[in-house]
A and B are shown apart, each in its own frame.
Chain A
Amino acid sequence: MSTITREQPRVSASEAFTSHLHPTPSWQSADHSMPTGREETWRFTPVKRFKPLMAEGPFGQINTITELPEGVTSRIVDAATAKELSFDPPVDLVAARAGEAAQTLVVEVAPEAAPGTPVVITTEGSDELASSQMIIRVGQQADVVIVLRRTGVAKLASKVEVQVAEGARVDIVTVQDWTAGSVHGGQYSVQIGRDAKVRSFQATIGLGDTRLVERIEYAGPGGELDQLGVYFVQAQQHVEHRLLVDHNYPHTVSHVDYRGALQGKGAHSVWIGDALIRKTAVDINTYETNKNLMLTEGCQADSVPNLEIETGEIRGAGHSSSTGRFDENQLFYLRSRGIPEDQARRLIVEGFFLDIIRRIGLPEIESRLVEALNVQLASIDDVSHDSLLGEDVEA
């Protein structure tokens, strides 16, 4: 975290939103060409590894288990019905393949429902090429927590949509917890209704390669988004999160904060944070930040924040990105109180992630993330292997 860049927003004067960063969405796989790696949207990706997810198939289904509290129902619909229910067509070939899934899981939270327990959806990979599509619809004024856990070995093309109606409050926690040999790509779209509040956590903590396109838009004024991400990347692993927050309504808010830790030769993370402020989106506020902690030499973090602003009448817009080793001043400060160097590093890295993990509010998920962090740190020589903040989570 030694280098910090803060850029002035780039102002684009275009009236209509056309951008090479965001190709025209389409349900037709024929409309999406097979990437070569030279495209702007694929240039950070080892395309070859993701090619199986763009093949013609046949794709199987991934085993999916749902735990639905009162006020929440589910049904299976066909591809044509899914298309009608959807607000965000596929933006690339991986998502288009996911959209071809014969069965789409639709989960509906009734208006004003406030179940005390979370909706839990678990998908379990079995090492077969699979496609998966889900549409989650949250009724107006509902108050719900949704957990999407992904485990097993995956070769998965996925598409997830979350539609949040007026005034609802939703926490959505997605955990990519794949085992070695997995490859997972897909699209995750959230639509935030008028005055709705959404907290979205994206944790990519397992093994294998992951590439997710995360798209946020609003369906009315006053919507608020907190989008938080944590990722741990090991040797030869590729983890990519590509975000677009589309401020298409006035008085909307978005805060994005993604933090990653990388270790080992060939560990590669990509974070793209695009915020688009449309001409109509007056009085909006957006801030996006990405921080990458390099635990060893030989890893690479690509971090690209970008603002496209079509109106100047906003409350605030900013972004920051930093990538580096441990901060010299933080280390000095902790050590000047007598804390040995390896413990000082441990405090800094644990604090860096617990700062986000603690906000999830689900003990089981929090402890799984802490466990994954411990694994990530277990082989790092200059970081103490004993947790110093662990009990904070349990308390």
Chain B
Amino acid sequence: MAELVINDLHVDVETESGPKPILHGVNLTINSGEIHAIMGPNGSGKSTLAYALAGHPKYTITSGSAQLDGVELTGLSVDDRAKAGLFMAMQYPVEVPGVSTSNFLRTAKTALDGQAPKVRTWPKIVTGALQRLEMDPSFAARSINEGFSGGEKKRGEIVQLDVLNPKFAILDEIDSGLDIDAVRIVAGGINRYADQGDRSVLLITHYTRILQYIKPSHVHVFVNGRIVESGGKELADELEVSGYDKYAKAVRV
């Protein structure tokens, strides 16, 4: 099971001039096995939703709740949210010099499972995931994201998704900055994950391009810190033609 229920979520971001409200009451239920796409213009607060759910210290949930399979996430530490089953692929994956991808994932897997993965099979697991994302096996020994191209970083996030296989994946603009081949490879990885059936995906994106490869069960339009419209795949098709102007204007009025 992987059911995320977000109820009237309000979030502040920490700025130099003090906390600034970004999310103004987000309501969203994602049932097990569903893929929800959240689309919206730049600055609408889409990424804030992702960071707030994952627990980044710059974002404060001021009211509302978010429950994953009945577990309230808002009071949990970042790593406890991951242990509850949450995974977030970042728009700008972070470099950690001197820590190999293989070691990093083994440490994570050990923490998540409560026991270390078998030494004998572990390299094969990482190599297999790299190969599915069409990355050279040598990436396993390289420092996390260091010296990776933009596209390699994004594919690396999906490698991590593949290896850790969480219950629920938030993918924050996983498609931005990718060429068309990389979009296809990344989408393939997301589909393999979702096709397990009991996993759920919250796909945050600015563009409709990746939706040629991933079929969302639900599409939401996100403007000014809340969801202003929800529908099926046809809503994405409409956005492809008419853009976000209509929704942005409606909010201003």
Residues of A within 8 A of B (CB): 328-330, 332-341, 343-344, 347-348, 350-355, 358, 388-389, 392
Instruction: Closest B residue to A358 by CB, please name it.
Output: B98
Contact B104 A337 (CB under 8 A): yes
Contact B98 A352 (CB under 8 A): yes
B111 interfacial contact with A, CB 8 Å: yes
Chain B nearest Cβ from A230, distance in angstroms: 12
Contact A332 B111 (CB under 8 A): no
Contact B82 A332 (CB under 8 A): no
Chain A nearest Cβ from B42, distance in angstroms: 21
Instruction: Closest A residue to B93 by CB, please name it.
Output: A333
Contacts of A330 in B (CB 8 A): 94, 96
Q: Could you say which of B57, B94, B99, B112 contacts A338, with CB atoms under 8 Å apart? A: B112
What's the Cα separation between A344 and B78 when bound, in Å? Answer: 11
Contact B103 A334 (CB under 8 A): no
Excluding A339-B107, A341-B79, A392-B103, 19 further A-B contacts by CB distance (< 8 Å) are A332-B55, A333-B90, A333-B96, A335-B82, A336-B79, A337-B82, A338-B108, A338-B111, A339-B79, A339-B104, A340-B79, A341-B77, A343-B111, A347-B104, A348-B96, A352-B97, A353-B98, A355-B143, A389-B98
Contact A350 B98 (CB under 8 A): yes
What's the Cα separation between A341 and B164 when bound, in Å? Answer: 18
Contact A335 B143 (CB under 8 A): no
Residues of B within 8 A of A (CB): 54-58, 77-79, 81-83, 87-88, 90, 93-94, 96-100, 103-105, 107-108, 111-112, 143-144, 160, 164
Contact A347 B107 (CB under 8 A): yes
What's the Cα separation between A333 and B87 when bound, in Å? Answer: 11
What's the Cα separation between A392 and B106 when bound, in Å? Answer: 13
What's the Cα separation between A306 and B110 when bound, in Å? Answer: 45
Contacts of B55 in A (CB 8 A): 332, 335-336
Contacts of B96 in A (CB 8 A): 330, 333-334, 347-348, 351
Chain A nearest Cβ from B47, distance in angstroms: 13
Q: Could you say which of A338, A352, A354, A358 contacts B82, with CB atoms under 8 Å apart? A: A338
> What are 21 contact pairs spanning A and B, CB under 8 A?
A330-B94, A332-B94, A335-B55, A336-B78, A336-B87, A337-B104, A337-B108, A337-B164, A338-B111, A339-B111, A341-B78, A343-B111, A347-B96, A347-B107, A350-B98, A350-B99, A352-B98, A353-B98, A355-B98, A389-B98, A392-B100
Chain A nearest Cβ from B228, distance in angstroms: 28
What's the Cα separation between A330 and B98 when bound, in Å? Answer: 12
Contacts of A389 in B (CB 8 A): 98-100, 103
Contact B107 A333 (CB under 8 A): no
Interface centre among A339, A341, A354, A389 (most CB of B within 10 A): A339
Contacts of A339 in B (CB 8 A): 79, 104, 107-108, 111
Instruction: Closest A residue to B79 by CB, please name it.
Output: A335
Contacts of A347 in B (CB 8 A): 96, 99, 103-104, 107
Contact B104 A329 (CB under 8 A): no
Chain A nearest Cβ from B217, distance in angstroms: 25
Contacts of B78 in A (CB 8 A): 332, 335-336, 341
Contacts of A341 in B (CB 8 A): 77-79
Contacts of B88 in A (CB 8 A): 336
Chain B nearest Cβ from A351, distance in angstroms: 3
Chain B nearest Cβ from A48, distance in angstroms: 37
Contact A336 B54 (CB under 8 A): yes
Instruction: Closest B residue to A351 by CB, please name it.
Output: B98
What's the Cα separation between A339 and B80 when bound, in Å? Answer: 9
Contact B107 A328 (CB under 8 A): no
Contact B99 A351 (CB under 8 A): yes
Query: What 3 pairs between A and B have smallest CB-CB spacing?
Result: A351-B98, A355-B98, A338-B82
Instruction: Closest B residue to A332 by CB, please name it.
Output: B56
Contact B103 A388 (CB under 8 A): yes
Chain A nearest Cβ from B50, distance in angstroms: 10
Instruction: Closest B residue to A353 by CB, please name it.
Output: B98
Contact B98 A338 (CB under 8 A): no
What's the Cα separation between A276 and B82 when bound, in Å? Answer: 50
Q: Could you say which of A336, A338, A351 contacts B143, with CB atoms under 8 Å apart? A: A351
What's the Cα separation between A392 and B93 when bound, in Å? Answer: 23
Interface centre among A335, A337, A355 (most CB of B within 10 A): A337
Contact A348 B99 (CB under 8 A): yes
Instruction: Closest A residue to B103 by CB, please name it.
Output: A389
Contact B82 A336 (CB under 8 A): yes
Instruction: Closest A residue to B95 by CB, please name it.
Output: A330
What's the Cα separation between A352 and B98 when bound, in Å? Answer: 6
Instruction: Closest A residue to B113 by CB, please name it.
Output: A338
Chain A nearest Cβ from B125, distance in angstroms: 15
What's the Cα separation between A344 and B110 when bound, in Å? Answer: 13
Contact B108 A329 (CB under 8 A): no
What's the Cα separation between A332 and B90 when bound, in Å? Answer: 11
Contacts of A350 in B (CB 8 A): 98-99
Chain A nearest Cβ from B102, distance in angstroms: 10
What's the Cα separation between A389 and B111 when bound, in Å? Answer: 15
Contacts of A352 in B (CB 8 A): 97-98
Instruction: Closest A residue to B163 by CB, please name it.
Output: A337
Contacts of B100 in A (CB 8 A): 389, 392
Chain A nearest Cβ from B210, distance in angstroms: 22
Q: Could you say which of A333, A340, A353, A354 contacts B111, with CB atoms under 8 Å apart? A: A340
What's the Cα separation between A339 and B164 when bound, in Å? Answer: 12
What's the Cα separation between A388 and B105 when bound, in Å? Answer: 12
What's the Cα separation between A337 and B144 when bound, in Å? Answer: 13
